Amino acid sequence: MRSILITGGAGFIGANFVHYWMNQYKNDKVIVLDALTYAGNLASLEPVKENPNFTFVHGDILNTELVEELLRHHKVDTLVHFAAESHVDRSITGPDAFLETNIMGTHSLLKAAKKVWLDEDLLQGAEHRFHHVSTDEVYGTLSLEDPAFTEETAYAPNSPYAASKAASDHLVRAYNETYGLKTTISNCSNNYGPYHFPEKLIPLVITNILHDKALPIYGDGQQIRDWLYVEDHARGIELVLNKGKVGENYNIGGHNEWHNIDIVKLICLLMDECFANDSTLASCFDTAKAAIAGNSESLITYVKDRPGHDRRYAIDAAKTRTELGYEPAESFETGIRRTIQWYLNNEAWWQAVMDGSYQDWINKQYS
């Protein structure tokens, strides 16, 4: 039985991980620490909020004393660190928050873990684990001919977001080498699935089609991303926690490379198909005029490219597969349909996230 502190558990991947974990390990205690930034959403934790093994703490990972207190109070033995500023576009217009949360925030957690687990020996010699959730963006960009990123690929981050994640990975490594903190790191490719904030490509395209708004394609749309269903990321982290070697990095990915323009066209096609097959959708989403007319693709609009835009990401997950037995369970064919269906079924979630009314509610709860 574990006592797990999950940072950023109200965000996209964190919330999916919480659901997955509480379903798999029914006796574990799960404590979520989340600052509820614009990307954090308590509604994403609705399915577990009544579970007696679940605790939500509204707080900042930069608050080292709070983290120490949580580790002691809940006798935490496992920390899984998702909390971050995660959107590349925002890191270009406002990098400071990324350095603050992703670098200083990770360091704050490392300091707290070292103090409570190593200096105070809270667990009296029992195992602890600090797992850091990172990204393939730390490896930089690939050309079409390059082999996929392995754990040996040199770090070459290109955006302030990627640079801040690379710095946090180095700090985690340093705390293992210098102090013997038992750490692991996973570097994952692009995730998609439920509870994904609609500023990221896939949920943006789905919700823009429903609002009959333009689908912005950066540059020529020929950039490539390697998409993984979010629950498969959770399963990968589970394997690293259960079988991974302390001090190691593990790549997690889906062997599922898509050009941006192709993925957008596929979503258009599937959305048109949903509207054609279910006449009730047109009345539920009467603003989705292009989809109702079977022509979502007409919304595609090429716009100015993202500065420093990485051309291609691709993950070689051979180490995670051979050492830990990792294989993604969800095919892209089924995962993308499940995701679209989730957005069609959960309008209240994404409307509230987008119009800010959810944020107003949070402010009232915590003011």
Q: Which is nearer to ligand NAD, 275 or 358 (CB)?
A: 358
Q: Does 192 bind ligand DAU (CB under 6 A)?
A: no
* Shortest distance, position 316 Cβ to ligand DAU, whole Å: 14
Q: Is 258 in the site for ligand DAU (CB under 6 A)?
A: no
One symbol per residue from 34 to 73: x for binding ligand DAU (CB under 6 A), - otherwise; what is it? ----------------------------------------
Would you give the DSSP letter of residue 102? I
* 250 touching ligand NAD, by CB under 6 A: no
Q: Which is nearer to ligand NAD, 275 or 313 (CB)?
A: 313
Phi/psi of residue 189, nearest 5 degrees? -85, -175
Q: Under the criterion CB under 6 A, does residue 232 sit at the interface with ligand DAU?
A: no
Contact with ligand DAU (CB under 6 A): which of 137, 169, 257, 330? Answer: 137
User: Do 300 and 217 form a contact (C-beta atoms < 8 A)?
Assistant: yes
Supply the Cα-derived Rg of the chain in whole angstroms: 20
Q: Does 185 bind ligand NAD (CB under 6 A)?
A: no
85 binds ligand DAU (CB under 6 A): no
Interface residue with ligand DAU among 86, 153, 158, 186 (CB under 6 A) is 86
175 among known catalytic residues: no
Residue 227: which of 252, 261, 199, 210 has the closest Cα? 252
Cβ neighbors of 236 (< 8 A, separation 6 or more) are 186, 188, 250, 252, 317, 320, 326
Cα–Cα separations (whole angstroms), residue 221 to 109, 265, 278, 304: 38, 11, 30, 11
Residue 76 within binding range of ligand DAU, rule CB under 6 A: no
Q: Which does 218 bind (CB under 5 to 8 A by kind): ligand NAD, ligand DAU, none?
A: ligand DAU
216 binds ligand DAU (CB under 6 A): yes
CB 28 to ligand DAU: min, Å: 26
Instruction: Please report whether residue 79 would count as binding ligand NAD according to CB under 6 A.
Output: no
Tokens of 192: 């998609």
Is 82 one of the binding residues for ligand NAD (CB under 6 A)? yes
Q: Which of 60, 77, 136, 169 is catalytic?
A: 136
Q: Is residue 218 a contact point for ligand DAU (CB under 6 A)? A: yes
Considering CB distances under 5 to 8 angstroms, the limit depending on partner class, which of ligand NAD, ligand DAU, none binds residue 10?
Answer: ligand NAD
Task: State the chain's maximal CA–CA distance in angstroms.
Answer: 65
Instruction: Give the pairing type, strands 257-259 and 224-226.
Output: antiparallel
Q: Quickly list DSSP for 1-48.
A: --EEEEETTTSHHHHHHHHHHHHH-TT-EEEEEE---TT--GGGGGGG
Q: How far is the CB of 334 from ligand NAD (least distance, A)?
A: 19
Question: Is 226 among the catalytic positions?
Answer: no
User: How far is the CA of 343 from the CAs of 167, 198, 207, in angstroms?
Assistant: 34, 10, 8
Residue with smaller CB distance to ligand NAD, 64 or 298: 64
Alpha helices in 28-159 (DSSP H): 64-73, 88-93, 96-98, 106-113
Q: Pick one of ligand NAD, ligand DAU, none as the site partner of residue 78 (Cβ within 5 to 8 A by kind).
A: none
Which one of 91, 256, 260, 320 is in contact with ligand DAU (CB under 6 A)? Answer: 260
Total chain residues near ligand NAD (CB under 6 A): 30
- CA dist., res. 344 & res. 341, Å (int): 5
Q: If binding is defined by CB under 6 A, does position 40 make contact with ligand NAD?
A: yes
Q: Using the rule CB under 6 A, is 135 a contact of ligand NAD? A: yes
In the residue annotation, 330 being an active-site residue is answered as no
Residue 94: which residues within 8 A CB-CB, separation 6 or more? none
Mapping DSSP to helix (H, G, I), strand (E, B) and coil, where does residue 213 land? coil
If one counts every other C-beta atom within 10 angstroms of the C-beta of residue 70, the result is 21
Residues with a known catalytic role = 136-137, 161
Q: Which residues bind ligand NAD (CB under 6 A)?
A: 7-8, 10-14, 33-37, 39-40, 60-62, 82-84, 86, 101, 105, 133, 135, 165, 188, 190-191, 197
